[in-house]
Amino acid sequence: MTDPRIPVTEDELHAYVDGELPAERRRDVEAWLATHADDAERVHSWRTMADALHARYDTVANEPVPARLEIERLDRAPRKWVYGAIAASFAAFVVGGGTGWLAHGAAVSPSIFQSFTVDALDAHRLYVVEVRHPVEVPGNERTHLQQWLTKRCGWDVRAPELGATGLKLVGGRLLPGPTGPASFLMYESASGERFTVYTAKAATEATQMRYTAQNNEGALFWADNGVGYVVSGGSDRDRLTQVARLVYDQIEKNGG
Amino acid sequence: MTAFRQSVEAMIPALRRYARALARDADVADDLVQDTLVRALRSERLFLGGDVRSWLYTILTNLNKNRRRSLARRPQFMPLLENNPDASGTEAEGRDIARALSTLVEEQRAVLLLVMLEGLSYREVADIQGVPIGTVMSRLARARAHVKAALEGERPALRRVK
């Protein structure tokens, strides 16, 4: 038995509310609360707080579980982050329908995807509409552009040759990225469609490819050798996938 | 489906609730749950008995910590005004509690939610966060004091604004 004359501590008040207090001490606390209005008020406010939390968030637990969280679906996800998994996910984009998260089983924290694509899509939207000054260094100074961006970013920045998809290098610029500098390259086709390739330091070594679309602009994100890549442009996902595949193949060939 | 899978599946609604309160944003929350489930399913062979529930909360809590770490350098955007005169009392209260939660530091928010919303014991939360029980209790006390102050400080101010 505990001594009812021993003053009730704040820890005991919390333990009382959370059902962690030994049964024999509960009665002491109840007697204490009857004569200590301040503590009684605090205990009451914590219970009200718990009610408010349940009122706000229990509805989430009662919602139907979204399809992407179904166990059966997650089971079919690839198990490993390997070189092949990135390439394999290209096929998933072509086959899969709709927009959103196509590559399941991502062991990368969602924020990496988020912060990259948000930055890259912002930059994409900001500069693709620019007619006179879309880039800092024009595409006809490709060697200088690559050297400059490589030096400033700290990883090998090479502007891929995207002629096979009808795209020509407009040029590039240096941007602030999530955790340091980012490189930004712009390409253009004869018909004026523009694609951008954004790279920045990634917190993970390698990830699968993920797709997202926002206001008619699609983006594909992946990370490789600690560098994150976002290829953005247009709402035609097949076209974007074609461009991204070419970017990916050349980076892979050059050893990242 | 194995018993392990069934117990993981049964936890999805509660994990979504916890993640939503922890991360605020619905999409980010479900991303956290998805990554948690993928990790859990992959590690089925490594799971040698024990409490699946605590284990899942541990994975989710850690994933969120990593997520926030990588967001730490980015400025956080908060709406300047969240006035909606048509909101019912319950909605307004829901907004208040969500806003009060957002002012807590990460570890305190996790403790508060695990204890008050998910009903975990102090011992379980201590294991999840990898800290002694005393640390859990002091985090909980500080979180409750902070949320209480935030709720009480806010309501009269909102009432004054007509």
Distance CA B154, CA B120 (A): 29
Instruction: Look at A71 and B41 and tell me if their CB atoms are within 8 Å.
Output: yes
Residue A159 and residue A143 in contact, taking contact as beta carbons nearer than 8 Å: no
* Dihedral sign, Cα of residue B40, residue A202, residue A176, residue A233: negative
Tokens of B119: 């009903």
Query: Does the pLDDT of residue B125 top 90, yes or no?
Result: yes
Residue A231 and residue A244 in contact, taking contact as beta carbons nearer than 8 Å: yes
A66 shares contact with chain B (CB less than 8 Å): yes
Distance CA A55, CA A108 (A): 32
Tokens of A209: 């490819």
Distance CA A187, CA A193 (A): 8
Q: Which residues in chain B have their CB less than 8 angstroms from residue A115's CB?
A: 70-71, 74
* Whole-number pLDDT of residue A216: 78
Chain B interface test: which of A71, A73, A102 (most B C-beta within 10 Å): A71
Distance CA A107, CA A156 (A): 25
Minimum-distance CB partner of B30 among A45, A69, A75: A69
Q: What is the mean pLDDT of residues A34-41?
A: 95
Average confidence score pLDDT of chain B: 81
User: How many angstroms separate the CA of residue A106 from the nearest CA in chain B?
Assistant: 6
Q: State residue A221 phi and psi, 5-degree precision.
A: -120, 140
Distance CA A233, CA A190 (A): 15
DSSP-derived letter for residue A10 is H
Measured in residues, chain B has a length of 162
Q: Helices B52-71 and B26-42 meet at what angle, rounded to 10? A: 130
Distance CA A159, CA A138 (A): 12
Q: What is the pLDDT of residues B23-59, one digit of tens each?
A: 988 888 998 999 899 888 877 776 666 788 998 999 8
Q: What is the pLDDT of residues A64-87, one digit of tens each?
A: 888 889 888 777 654 333 333 444
DSSP-derived letter for residue A68 is G
Those of residues 86-145 in A touching chain B at CB distance below 8 A are: 101, 104-112, 114-115
Measured in residues, chain A has a length of 256
Distance CA A217, CA A55 (A): 38
CB pairs under 8 A between A and B: 131
A60 shares contact with chain B (CB less than 8 Å): yes
**ipTM of this predicted structure:** 0.84
Helix, strand, coil shares of chain A as percentages rounded to 5? 50, 20, 35
Minimum-distance CB partner of B94 among A46, A56, A104: A56
Q: What is the mean pLDDT of residues B126-155?
A: 91
Tokens of A108: 């990368």
Instruction: Look at A110 and B28 and tell me if their CB atoms are within 8 Å.
Output: yes
| Global confidence as pTM | 0.55
Most confident of the ranges A73-77, A96-100, A182-186, B82-86: A182-186
Q: What is the pLDDT of residues B66-103, one digit of tens each?
A: 776 665 544 444 444 444 444 445 566 667 899 999 88
Q: State residue B69 phi and psi, 5-degree precision.
A: -60, -45
Q: Give residue A167's region: left, alpha or beta (phi > 0; psi -120 to 50).
A: beta
* Whole-number pLDDT of residue B2: 80
Minimum-distance CB partner of A111 among B70, B90, B147: B70
